[in-house]
Amino acid sequence: MRTMKAAVFLRPGKISLDEKPIPVAGPGEALIKITTTTICGTDVHILKGEFPVEAGRTIGHEPVGVIAELGAGVTGYSVGERVIVGAITPCGQCHPCLDGHQAQCGGKAAGGWRFGNTIDGAQAEYLLVPHAMSNLELIPDGLTDEQVLMCPDIMSTGFGGAERGDIRIGDVVVIFAQGPIGLCATAGAKLKGASLIIVVDSVESRLEVAKRLGADVAIDYTKTDPLSEIMRLTNGRGVDVAIEALGTQQTFESCLRALKPGGTLSSLGVYSGKLSLPLDAFAAGLGDHKIITTLCEGGKERMRRLMNVVASGRVDLEPMVTHRFKLDQIEEAYELFANQRDGVLKVAIVP
Amino acid sequence: MRTMKAAVFLRPGKISLDEKPIPVAGPGEALIKITTTTICGTDVHILKGEFPVEAGRTIGHEPVGVIAELGAGVTGYSVGERVIVGAITPCGQCHPCLDGHQAQCGGKAAGGWRFGNTIDGAQAEYLLVPHAMSNLELIPDGLTDEQVLMCPDIMSTGFGGAERGDIRIGDVVVIFAQGPIGLCATAGAKLKGASLIIVVDSVESRLEVAKRLGADVAIDYTKTDPLSEIMRLTNGRGVDVAIEALGTQQTFESCLRALKPGGTLSSLGVYSGKLSLPLDAFAAGLGDHKIITTLCEGGKERMRRLMNVVASGRVDLEPMVTHRFKLDQIEEAYELFANQRDGVLKVAIVP
Amino acid sequence: MRTMKAAVFLRPGKISLDEKPIPVAGPGEALIKITTTTICGTDVHILKGEFPVEAGRTIGHEPVGVIAELGAGVTGYSVGERVIVGAITPCGQCHPCLDGHQAQCGGKAAGGWRFGNTIDGAQAEYLLVPHAMSNLELIPDGLTDEQVLMCPDIMSTGFGGAERGDIRIGDVVVIFAQGPIGLCATAGAKLKGASLIIVVDSVESRLEVAKRLGADVAIDYTKTDPLSEIMRLTNGRGVDVAIEALGTQQTFESCLRALKPGGTLSSLGVYSGKLSLPLDAFAAGLGDHKIITTLCEGGKERMRRLMNVVASGRVDLEPMVTHRFKLDQIEEAYELFANQRDGVLKVAIVP
Amino acid sequence: MRTMKAAVFLRPGKISLDEKPIPVAGPGEALIKITTTTICGTDVHILKGEFPVEAGRTIGHEPVGVIAELGAGVTGYSVGERVIVGAITPCGQCHPCLDGHQAQCGGKAAGGWRFGNTIDGAQAEYLLVPHAMSNLELIPDGLTDEQVLMCPDIMSTGFGGAERGDIRIGDVVVIFAQGPIGLCATAGAKLKGASLIIVVDSVESRLEVAKRLGADVAIDYTKTDPLSEIMRLTNGRGVDVAIEALGTQQTFESCLRALKPGGTLSSLGVYSGKLSLPLDAFAAGLGDHKIITTLCEGGKERMRRLMNVVASGRVDLEPMVTHRFKLDQIEEAYELFANQRDGVLKVAIVP
């Protein structure tokens, strides 16, 4: 049996590189040889034991690779083609998928998120892709691995915050937190036509990247009170859409307080602990507010669209790759990424 | 100076009938002589001091009447015509109104709700209507006062819960609480094409009315656990849309727990105290949920549409008028309504 | 080789019962034994040579049956289960399907319509179902074949005209032509909350059925000018949504002329010959009109929803089955149906 | 009586500068002193007699100016403030306005378009603004007249083509014709997140401007067949959205032929003569197509949003002002503009 290296969750606090058998593509599946992958904030939640996965699970859900093997019934692709696969891998054929809820595939909450969660993931030399017909998307000629590395998760998620928040031309939008997801939400807000984009974080380097991606005003909340500043900038009107990109009570609540009556809170964070709705900001339920959560849109059509955005040059997320590691160095990569050392935004990991 | 009788909020616990000057219609305003009005749950909140209004304010926001006087610039209407006016009176001309947020007129939370809140209301012999051009709607021939008495508030609000919840043909919908608003939400869910409508309350008579208005399954939560029953009825799938029609943590939370991944919580209640989002039911923010609050759509176009629904016979809400009072008896009417005595749903009050 | 009977298109003017091999379910496919099927107006277009299909093609796209065989990879179903399959059989996994355009599966116009068009259809003893995982839907207990016989095509199409026309509570809707599709559009308009539904046809019996399904006003265009009557009924305002359900210049144009400025023409007909947009009715392009065409939504989620509507009793289309035939009598059935003899609406055909 | 100069339509072929009384602001009205205005393609239709207006009508619907007088009931503004007013002046208070159809104000086709059509327009020293409360919008500090001159009509119209076409992130969009409206549609398509924008025209200078505003591919249809090129660029897939910006059978039809199944034709042109729907491109009505026409969104909220876009620097339309004239020279300006001499895009006219 051929084996491969894989980053495996062992127990809270411990992800290590391990040897595992290389999977074989069954009917409807494809095996891809990973050429580049990365680490996500969610992987850090898993590492810390905040999001439970079973021991022995290979982690990672952001694959760029080459088709190594096609299972029975997977047609229209060839071994050797360069592909990406979304973090979310909808089957396309269950009731929720057919109803447009592909991230909730199978009708379980977050059911479309399989990689590094309910099946083995992408931080390995090989990755078995389920529902390959719905999920393999060829990389357009001329795009590098790093150029498309953000498509499977953070670009899809961040843009999704702007899309499902239904940002319109001329809107004022605030994004709370400018980690990788928040930065992508900023880029998405610009793509959707917001005319004033306000971002809030405390890390100077992230605020700088945010400005390059479309932020008009960057607020360091350790120096300026965001809500006062937002109300000043909007003449007391509040924002049309507030995007939460961290997953804390404070950012969630700040979003709600920043909204105009009738505004939309688009939530991207993964929350833990408790979450409450302050009734003054929520207008006791009379404010015609919308609160919309978004997991991440997957599937090959989504990947096609996102790579088109990259190819068009509309958005350049490659500068978000601040560090590069070999798969052998993955524990070191986690150490850096989990502790947000050295101005890290995203790491590229190459088997 | 001619005077009239009006039900006036004096202090928490006290609404009394008082004498006030009959208002005069200024530019853009109209004076209507009230022929029938009613009491709303929100009025009871005011009575109890849970929703603050200034002392001396005439209460009530559900007017049916006859045009008594038209101010300068109000054209296309004649004195003597029978009209209704929505509980929400948008100006139609401010930025939020022009942007479709008419209930948030002026950009203040619930800014479109003026009657019995920021200006004198409808539980009186006469009512001064602001922004008359946007708000006076003629009653079609053949409809009685009581037939259209639900249009200004509860029909608009309840239907709004179904509309903004975006109920689709074939949806499963649950409505928690079957007071007047919840009953109208039930009727609205049927009008929007839901194929399975589940309602939850503990008052047998309300569950009976709910069945007449479209509920397929009525759950008395004192006898049956609603969530188990909902999951049984949906084969564990959950509902597409859950409508909250009371304004408590328990009903809000039950709605969230009843939802399928990707489902919508449409909230109509006025909340007080605290409101929290249980993260297990909220899938930690990963469930593609929507939470949508709705005040109440006003304006004459809304009233026109709702009266058309009444005229068509699609929905008959007249049976909801369970008791009738003279304006002189308004304190007695409040006493009955606030304590939900004698199976009361709505009262008709005639000056 | 086992054989079966099948209604086969031979040449324009000729569909005959033939013997064909019983298909074998390949990977991802299912074989169903037809228990009831029907004839559609589109089949008559095929018969007349107005819509081309290749010689030898088995006709029909409205199957009710029992699972006879499941191909490799088709899981969650068992042989012997009663199922329906939509006229449109999306794969669920191509780019257009994943983007919500399931009727345009594969990116070809009407690409999701395979049965009796690009592959053999349902007027036979057995039917091979492609993409079975996306398309087989179990019939709920207690529903008869005839109760669900309208779901695969005309109910989905007709309701789709109401849904994609975005009918809202309180709308005035006109439906031109009350054949089976138009009648279902009428039922759909009612389900969506229209408060005034006007239908136009010349066949008295069809107008009668329309009234039972929700029409408020039935216009026999041989006796009354529909446009004058529509304008009279709407006080010159025009309708919010006009549904075209025949496929002729006259009905298309009448729809456009019946619309209010800003109204929506929802088109269901299959047009032949020429189609022009009268610029006066089209306001030279300045009327904020929408013209929306709808093929038919398929897939098992759609079938689940439609059968829920049937099960709820909201709509009863069984009376539309006016005639019953054995498969052996299919030529006779075509003769009756194509010539609209004997008040026929839909025929049930039983192998 | 004080008089002013005004460009007046006399008869087909003749618009001349005339003396007229300066209007007086009645209730709800405002008088503005025009500081800059411009000529629209529609004005040329009027000049040529293709769009009928009554003799003596002052032409023009794109005003930038200063408040000179406020009628009774117009509050929140002061004489001397710099404002723009949209080409479309909704009342905000009629049924269609309250229903979101503001361009169809009053329920007449294009009823919201009053200036230079049903009332006197902006090519004059003074302009009387109806429904001033809905329509006067202050110009943000720091923006020049020419920077906001495109907001009242062509920016609102062009962006509207992108907005109502519902362009999504990653869409491929084609715009047929790159006159001022088409150029604004191009800018709007980019603002909405299209990743591949194809434009078609024959004037090299317009194609150049299109590229600066966001076009990725510019096709000169005199040299390259647009449809072949579009199909090549999309691998035979067709475009998601096609915007028509001229008003001819050829561009309308080309849009339809360029669409993918399920695509949207967003029509901005003013058509004359005949318009037909080629059934092959229309898939006989089975292609799930949408055809959506858009007049132009007006009202002060729209103007506020558009000026925010200008202020943000997202879009710079000032280079579209290619020529400048005094009001005294208006006949000369018409001569240049109507004949598209000297690379003219838009002219600025200063009284």
Smallest CA–CA distance, residue A320 to chain C, in Å, is 28
What's the pLDDT score for residue A273?
84
Rounded CA-CA distance C249/C244 in Å is 10
| Subunit contact B271:A292, Cβ cutoff 8 A | no
Residue D288's pLDDT band, with cuts at 50, 70 and 90, is very high
The reply to whether C308 falls in a domain is no
Average pLDDT over residues C216-220: 98
C9-19 pLDDT, tens per residue? 999 999 999 99
Asked if residue C21 and residue C111 are part of one domain, the reply reads: yes
Verify whether the Cβ–Cβ distance A110 to B283 is below 8 Å.
yes
- The tokens for C53 are 């299909």
Q: What is the CATH number of the domain that holds B345?
A: 3.90.180.10
Residues C144 and C275 in one domain: no
- Which residue in B246, B224, B184, B179 sits closest to B206, CA to CA? B179
Minimal C-alpha gap between D61 and chain B (Å)? 20
Contacts of A51 in chain B (CB under 8 A): 284
Average of per-residue pLDDT across A333-346 = 96
Q: How far is B144 from chain A (nearest CA, A)?
A: 30
Interface of B with A (CB under 8 A): 96, 99, 101, 103-104, 107-111, 113, 237-238, 247, 260-262, 267-277, 279, 282-295
- What is the token pair recorded at D316? 């710079």
Q: What are phi and psi of A262, to 5 degrees?
A: 85, 0
Which domain range does residue C33 map to? 3-150+317-350
Distances (CA, A) of A35 to A32, A84, A146, C63: 9, 10, 10, 47
Q: Do B288 and A294 touch (CB under 8 A)?
A: yes
| Structure-block tokens of residue D164 | 């109502």
Cβ of B301 and D134 within 8 Å? no
Give the DSSP per-residue string, C132-167.
HHHH-EEPPTT--HHHHTTIIIIIHHHHHHHHHTT-
Q: Please report which helix (H) or strand (E) contains residue A41, including its range.
A: helix A41-47
Distance, C-alpha C198 to centroid of its chain: 20
Asked if D142 and D238 sit in the same domain, the reply is: no
Touching A (3+ Cβ pairs <8 A), the chains are B, C, D
Asked if residue D203 and residue D321 are part of one domain, the reply reads no
The ipTM assigned to this model is: 0.97
Give residue C318's pLDDT: 85
- Residues of chain B in contact with residue D72, where contact means CB-CB under 8 angstroms, are 27, 72-73
pLDDT band at D168 (very low <50, low <70, confident <90, very high): very high
> Which residue type sits at A337?
F
Tracing tokens 């012999």 back to the chain, one arrives at B125
Convert the pLDDT of each residue in D291-301 to its tens digit.
999 999 999 99
pLDDT confidence band for D319 (50 / 70 / 90): confident
pLDDT band, very low/low/confident/very high, at A81 (cuts 50, 70, 90): very high
Residues of B in contact with A267 (CB under 8 A): 285
Residue D284 in any domain: the answer is yes
pLDDT, position C4? 98
Check: CB of residue A230 under 8 Å from CB of residue A258. yes
Neighbouring residues of C144: CB distance < 8 A, sequence distance ≥ 6: C318
* Residue D255 Cα, gap to closest chain C Cα (Å): 15
A163 and A108 in one domain? no
User: Which letter, b or e, does each residue of D119-149 get, where b requires 16 or more Cβ atoms within 10 Å of its Cβ?
Assistant: bbbbbbbbbbbbbbbbbbbbbeeebebbbbb
* DSSP classification of residue C23: P
**What pLDDT digit, counting tens, does each position of B253-281 carry?**
999 999 999 999 999 999 988 899 999 99
Q: What is the pLDDT confidence band of residue D318, given thresholds at 50, 70 and 90?
A: confident
Residue B1 pLDDT: 73
Are C299 and A28 inside 8 Å of each other by CB?
no
Query: Which CATH number do you get for residue B193?
Result: 3.40.50.720
In C235-316, where do the E strands start and end? 239-244, 259-267, 275-276, 290-293
pLDDT of residue A256: 98
Average confidence (pLDDT) over A58-82: 97
Q: Are B274 and A274 in contact (CB under 8 A)?
A: no
Q: Residues of C near B (CB-CB distance < 8 A)?
A: 159, 163, 168-172, 188, 191-193, 195-196, 216, 304-306, 308-309, 311-312, 314
Which SS3 state, helix, strand or coil, does residue B199 take? strand
- Give the E-state strand segments of A110-211 in sequence order: 126-129, 137-138, 172-176, 196-201
Q: What is the mean pLDDT of residues B38-65?
A: 96
C-alpha separations of C235 from B90, C172, C184, C216, D306 in Å: 25, 12, 27, 16, 36
> Does residue A1 have a pLDDT over 80?
no
Chain A residue numbers touching D300 (CB-CB < 8 A): none
- Chain D residues with at least one Cβ partner in A under 8 Å: 159, 163, 168-172, 188, 190-193, 195-196, 216, 304-306, 308-309, 311-312, 314
Render pLDDT for C136-195 as a digit per residue (tens, 0 to 9).
Answer: 999 999 999 999 999 999 999 999 999 999 999 999 999 999 999 999 999 999 999 999
User: C168 with C287, same domain?
Assistant: yes
Q: Nearest by CB to C28, which of A73, A134, A302?
A: A73
In chain D, what percentage of residues exceed pLDDT 90? 98
Q: Report the interhelical angle of C300-312 vs C156-164 (nearest 10°).
A: 90
Answer yes or no: is pLDDT of D1 > 80: no
Compute the mean pLDDT over every residue in chain C, rounded to the nearest whole number. Answer: 97
List own/partner pairs for A245-250 with CB under 8 A and 24 or more apart.
A245/A158, A245/A161, A245/A175, A245/A176, A245/A177, A245/A178, A245/A179, A245/A181, A245/A182, A245/A185, A245/A269, A246/A176, A246/A177, A246/A179, A246/A182, A247/A271, A247/A272, A247/B284, A247/B285, A249/A273, A249/A274, A249/A275, A249/A276
B105 & B68 share domain: yes
Contact C285 D291 (CB under 8 A): no
* Contacts with C237 from chain D: Cβ below 8 Å: 107
Structure tokens at C117: 């068009």
- With an 8 Å Cβ cutoff, are C163 and B170 in contact? no
Supply the angle between the helices C204-213 and C180-191 in degrees, to the nearest 10. 20
> Could you tell me how many CB contacts below 8 A there are between chain B and chain C?
61
Q: Among candidates B285, B262, B277, which has minimal Cα distance to A41?
A: B285
The answer on B107 and B58 residing in a single domain is yes
Asked whether residue D145 falls in the same domain as residue D20, the answer is yes
Is A170's CB within 8 Å of D308's CB? yes
Q: What pLDDT was estimated at residue A43?
A: 96
| Contact assessment for residue A199 and residue A186, using Cβ atoms and an 8 Å cutoff | yes
- Which of B42, B9, B8 has its CA nearest to residue B152? B42
Q: For chain D, which residues lie within 8 Å of any Cβ of chain B, measuring from their own Cβ? A: 27-28, 72-73, 90-100, 102, 131, 133-134, 299-302, 304
User: Which residues, other chains included, contact C41 with Cβ-Cβ below 8 Å and sequence gap of 6+?
Assistant: C179, C180, C181, C270
Closest residue by Cα to residue A277 from C252, B141, B278, C217:
B278
Q: How many residues does chain D have?
A: 351
User: Do B130 and B185 reside in the same domain of the chain?
Assistant: no
Minimum distance, in Å, between the CA of residue D283 and any CA atom of chain C: 6
Q: CA nearest C89 in A: which residue?
A: A93
Which chains have at least 3 CB atom pairs separated by less than 8 Å from chain B? A, C, D
Best A191, A301, A306, A316 member to test D by mutation, with max D CBs in 10 Å, is: A191
Instruction: Look at residue A59 and tell me if it is in a domain.
Output: yes
Would you call C195 and B308 a contact, using CB atoms and an 8 Å cutoff? yes
Same domain, B104 and B166: no
Output DSSP code: residue C93: -
For residue C129, is pLDDT > 80?
Answer: yes
Q: How far apart are CA B126 and CA B23, in angstroms?
A: 8
Q: Which amino acid is at A25?
A: A
Number of structural domains found in chain D: 2
Q: Classify strands D259-267 and D239-244 as parallel, antiparallel or unpaired.
A: parallel
Q: What is the pTM of this model?
A: 0.97
Instruction: Say if residues B185 and B200 touch (Cβ distance below 8 Å).
Output: no
* Mutual angle of helices C180-191 and C156-164, in 10-degree steps: 50
Q: What is the mean pLDDT of residues A175-179?
A: 98
3-class DSSP state for residue C7? Answer: strand
Checking if the pLDDT of A228 tops 80, the result is yes
Dig out the tokens for C84 from the structure.
Answer: 């329906």
Chain C interface, Cβ < 8 Å to A: 27-28, 72-73, 90-100, 102, 131, 133-134, 299-302, 304
Q: Using the 8-state DSSP alphabet, how is residue D113 labeled? A: B
Contacts of C10 (CB under 8 A, 6+ apart): C16, C55, C56
- CB contact at 8 A, B307 and B140: yes
Which chain A residues are closer than 8 Å to D211 by Cβ?
none
State how far residue C198 is from chain B, nearest Cα, in angstroms.
12
Q: Which two tokens stand for residue B53?
A: 């209004």
Q: Whole-angstrom Cα distance, residue A95 to residue C92?
A: 10
Of D262, D271, D277, the CB nearest to C279: D271
**B283-298 average pLDDT score:** 97
Residue D180, domain member (yes or no):
yes
Question: Is the separation of the CB atoms in C261 and D104 below 8 Å?
Answer: yes
Q: Mean pLDDT over all residues of chain A?
A: 97
Which tens digit of pLDDT belongs to each residue from D217-273?
Answer: 999 999 999 999 999 999 999 999 999 999 999 999 999 999 999 999 999 999 988
> Both D262 and D186 in a single domain?
yes
Contact C98 A90 (CB under 8 A): yes
- 3-state SS assignment for residue C258: helix
Whether residue A168 has pLDDT greater than 80 = yes
In a domain, B245, yes or no: yes
Q: Does the residue C44 lie in any domain?
A: yes
Q: Are residues D312 and A195, on separate chains, in Cβ contact within 8 Å?
A: yes
CA atoms within 13 A on the CB side of C339: 9
Contacts of D27 in chain B (CB under 8 A): 27, 72-73
Asked whether residue A307 is assigned to any structural domain, the reply reads no
D19 within domain boundaries = yes
With a cut of 90, say whether residue C273 has pLDDT above it. no
Model confidence at D48: pLDDT above 90: yes
**C-beta atoms of D110 and C286 within 8 A:** yes
Structure tokens at A299: 């599937």
CA–CA separation, A187 and A175 (whole Å): 10
CB contact under 8 A, A305 and D170: yes
Nearest C-alpha of chain D: how many angstroms from C315?
A: 25
Around Cβ A338, how many Cβ atoms within 10 Å? 17
